[in-house]
């Protein structure tokens, strides 16, 4: 991304029209797919359902290795337009040439800018398609009723549910990744997870993907807690599945998956606090919802066993590579 200030019109000209859910699309409820990469083959098929552009970072290691090592398909569905992320955009104002920390300016321009940031980061992670549902990112709140309550008018919940169901029916994903819907987290995150669970539950039982949730990546693998506090229908099973971001590879085992995750984090330049996540969190810990199909644990265990494999074989170098050419 160019760090010189430039006109917003020029920036937005790079954004395909297919990224927006226009009135003519609402009859189908599914936003047109925005193709990020052509990665994806016969491997596992994953849909990450998140509230905001940047939430995908919680799954970044698993998405990357599934796409690039297991020949899998990884898609991301984003519920909100990200306009509420203006408060921490200070350092990005010189990049985009707009006073994004002014609320009216940020809300006007961030939906477009954050799509480009997400696209750039997801390209690095090997994500295939992005789906933007364009719901309003109204504000930070822990009150779930603001989003899913009987009087809530922030999101078109029916449209989101219909769109998610049709994505699931069309692409027959094996797994759906969500953020853990605990009472202390952003209501948008919890709402996105509950809508994903609802959409999966509407499918015939033999067609349902496995739904997992993860908490913020941490230095330690987090033991499961069952049930998650306060939300009916979100009880999880005791077994935890862990992706180790510190898996070593490359010359002298000097590289790990945190590097590519840092690349993806760096693309979210309007979200200044995201940059503080660089190199933080050694593990992504996933939990199974109790409502999953009976074979969910077996299927999930198989996925994470595959993800533990050695992706990059060691290479031997001659002395022409330098005094550190040997692997010792």
Whether residue 307 is contained in a domain is answered as yes
**Given this model, what pLDDT does residue 117 score?**
97
Taking only the tens place, the pLDDT of each residue in 227-245 is 555 466 788 888 999 999 9
Average pLDDT across the chain, whole number:
87
Taking only the tens place, the pLDDT of each residue in 184-205 is 889 999 999 999 999 999 999 9
Mean pLDDT for the stretch of residues 99-108? 98
- pLDDT at residue 216 greater than cutoff 80: no
Whichever domain contains 196, its CATH number is 3.40.50.10320
What tokens does 8 get? 């917003």
Whether residue 116 is contained in a domain is answered as yes
Whether residue 55 is contained in a domain is answered as yes
Alpha-carbon torsion (303, 305, 306, 308), positive or negative: positive
* Parent domain of 133: 8-321
**What whole-number distance in Å separates Cα of residue 269 and Cα of residue 289?**
33
Whether residue 32 is contained in a domain is answered as yes
Whether residue 294 is contained in a domain is answered as yes
Give the predicted TM-score (pTM) of the model. Answer: 0.88
Mean pLDDT for the stretch of residues 147-164? 93
Q: Which residues pair with 255 in a beta bridge?
A: 249
Whether residue 328 is contained in a domain is answered as no
**What whole-number distance in Å separates Cα of residue 120 and Cα of residue 107?**
21
Mean pLDDT for the stretch of residues 289-306? 96
Element (H, E) at 247: none
Taking only the tens place, the pLDDT of each residue in 38-58 is 767 899 999 999 999 999 999
Q: CA of 60: how far to CAs of 167, 177, 186, 221, 265, in Å?
A: 21, 11, 20, 16, 9
Whether residue 326 is contained in a domain is answered as no
Whether residue 327 is contained in a domain is answered as no
Mean pLDDT for the stretch of residues 278-306? 95
What tokens does 124 get? 């690095």
**What whole-number distance in Å separates Cα of residue 103 and Cα of residue 48?**
29
Number of compact structural domains in the chain: 1
């Amino acid at each position: 991304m160019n760090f010189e200030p430039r006109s917003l019109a020029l920036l937005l000209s790079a954004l395909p029209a297919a990224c927006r859910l226009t009135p003519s699309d609402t009859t189908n409820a599914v936003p047109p797919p925005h193709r990020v990469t052509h990665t994806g083959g016969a491997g596992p098929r994953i849909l990450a359902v998140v509230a905001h552009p940047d939430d995908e970072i919680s799954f970044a290691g698993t998405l990357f290795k599934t796409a690039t090592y297991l020949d899998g398909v990884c898609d991301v569905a984003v519920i909100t337009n990200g306009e509420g992320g203006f408060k921490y955009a200070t350092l990005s104002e010189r990049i985009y040439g707009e006073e994004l920390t002014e609320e009216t300016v940020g809300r006007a321009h961030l939906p477009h800018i954050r799509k480009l940031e997400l696209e750039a980061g997801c390209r690095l992670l090997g994500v295939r398609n992005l789906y933007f549902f364009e719901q309003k990112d109204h504000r930070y709140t822990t009150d779930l009723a603001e989003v899913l309550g009987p009087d809530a008018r922030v999101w078109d919940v029916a449209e989101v549910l219909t769109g998610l169901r049709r994505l699931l029916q069309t692409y027959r994903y094996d797994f759906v990744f969500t953020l853990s819907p605990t009472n202390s987290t952003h209501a948008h995150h919890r709402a996105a997870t509950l809508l994903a669970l609802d959409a999966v539950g509407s499918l015939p039982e033999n067609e349902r993907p496995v739904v997992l949730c993860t908490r913020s990546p941490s230095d330690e693998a987090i033991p499961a807690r069952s049930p998650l506090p306060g939300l009916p229908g979100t009880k999880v099973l005791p077994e935890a599945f862990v992706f180790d971001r510190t898996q070593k590879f490359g010359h002298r085992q000097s590289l790990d998956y945190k590097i590519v995750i840092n690349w993806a984090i760096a693309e979210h330049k309007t979200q200044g606090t995201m940059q503080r996540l660089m190199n933080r969190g050694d593990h992504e810990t996933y939990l199974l919802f109790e409502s999953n199909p009976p074979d969910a644990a077996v299927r999930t265990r198989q996925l994470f066993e595959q993800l533990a494999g050695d992706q990059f074989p060691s290479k031997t170098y001659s002395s022409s590579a330098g005094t550190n050419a040997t692997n010792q």
